[in-house]
Structure 1
Amino acid sequence: MTTEVPVKLTIETLARETFAPFGDVIQADDAAKHFTINEGNTERYHDLAAIDPGADGRAIVSIFRGKPRSLPFTITLMERHPKASQAFIPLSGKPYLVVVAKAETAPAVQDLRVFLCHGDQGVNYAPGVWHHPLLALESVCDFLIIDRAGPGDNCDIVQMDAPSIIPALG
């Protein structure tokens, strides 16, 4: 019996340009369209993500409370929501990881991308984009989630074809 050696994944810094094939980065910074409202008291960072509830769906808002994961961490499965987008906006100000792969086919290890997100960066997975379930890091973290409610099954889960591992940070 042979055991496969896990592939060591590379952790990338989350940026709009590198994450674009998978969805949107949700972040209040100078790159986002923004303007002053409320008699000059508030800066509005406008239309930060293409929220797509899909046909016959409606956008819902939830809070997910994620327990921290320890690194190194082995990726064994991925999921996707084929009917709609899914946005994750951190509320706890802590860093977290996202693991993604393009929507075309079930992901293989070589398709995985890992991004380190700062506590002020959210992500919006485009419909059908493969991603790993929530990967909070330092402590229990809350995330505001905007996703779909509606008819039909909107969650596909696949087991990975080979092991891969996210190394410890640093």
Structure 2
Amino acid sequence: MARKLVPQPLTQAAFEPYGDVIEVAGAPDKLINQGMCGRHHDRARLDFHEGRAGISLFDAKARTFPHVVDMVERHPDGSQAFIPLSGVPFLVIVADDEDGRPVNLKAFVTGPGQSINLLRGVWHGVLAPVEKPGQYIVVDRIGDGPNLEEHWFEEPFVIDSATPQQP
């Protein structure tokens, strides 16, 4: 028997405990390049332990619905930012931690122009572009040693649609 998980719109207020919503919002913090470019400064809390920041490119296959969430993962040694290149919305699954186990799963759907940064150690689902393949810039920790923990659910969660519901 699967548990139902309903996505909600991605907002900074709702996502705050898990990371940052990276997007252009409001006026730029400052103008640069002879006033021709607005800089929206320092939009993500990047955090790496014993490593360095790296930029990788991900090419992810489309997810369709119903979408089964049977596993979440976390990275104890570094934050992880996902910046879409192709404009395809994606599902963001996150969970609270209770004694080393994921609880209280939440699902979000990105909107146009939104990227995310997951804080170090946050349980999250896999990269899941909605209905079309997606390409992403990923900024995360590059370093020695394992930086991945997985948790497989005995009873998976199911998302019937990517249409966000208001909380």
TM-score normalised according to structure 1 size: 0.90
Partner of 2:155: 162
- 1:64-106 deviation digits (Å, cap 9, x = unpaired): 0111000111111010001110000111112111000124431
Partner of 1:59: 53
Asked if 2 retains the 8 angstrom alpha-carbon contact of 1:93 and 1:118, the reply is no
Asked if 2 retains the 8 angstrom alpha-carbon contact of 1:68 and 1:139, the reply is yes
What do you get for the CA RMSD once the two structures are aligned? 1.4
The counterpart of 1:126, out of the listed 114, 119, 126, is: 119
Asked if 2 retains the 8 angstrom alpha-carbon contact of 1:36 and 1:42, the reply is yes
Structure 1 residue 154, shift from structure 2 partner? 0.2
Asked if 2 retains the 8 angstrom alpha-carbon contact of 1:99 and 1:115, the reply is yes
Partner of 1:15: 11
Distance (Å, rounded) in 1 between the aligned partners of 2:133 and 2:42? 28
Partner of 1:102: 96
The counterpart of 2:34, out of the listed 18, 21, 39, is: 39
Partner of 2:105: 112
For 1:51, give the aligned amino acid.
L
Structure 1 residue 24, shift from structure 2 partner? 0.7
Distance (Å, rounded) in 2 between the aligned partners of 1:92 and 1:119? 11
Moved over 4 A (4+): none
Partner of 1:146: 139
Asked if 2 retains the 8 angstrom alpha-carbon contact of 1:77 and 1:132, the reply is yes
Distance (Å, rounded) in 2 between the aligned partners of 1:114 and 1:124? 15
Structure 1 residue 33, shift from structure 2 partner? 5.8
Distance (Å, rounded) in 1 between the aligned partners of 2:135 and 2:111? 14
Distance (Å, rounded) in 1 between the aligned partners of 2:34 and 2:28? 18
Partner of 1:25: 21
Instruction: Identify unmatched segments of 5+ residues in structure 1.
Output: none
Structure 1 residue 16, shift from structure 2 partner? 0.5
Distance (Å, rounded) in 1 between the aligned partners of 2:112 and 2:153? 28
TM-score normalised according to structure 2 size: 0.92
Taking a change above 3 Å as real, the CA distance of residues 23 and 86 of structure 1, as seen in their structure-2 partners, is same
For 1:17, give the aligned amino acid.
A
**Number of paired residues?**
162
User: Percent same amino acid at aligned positions?
Assistant: 39
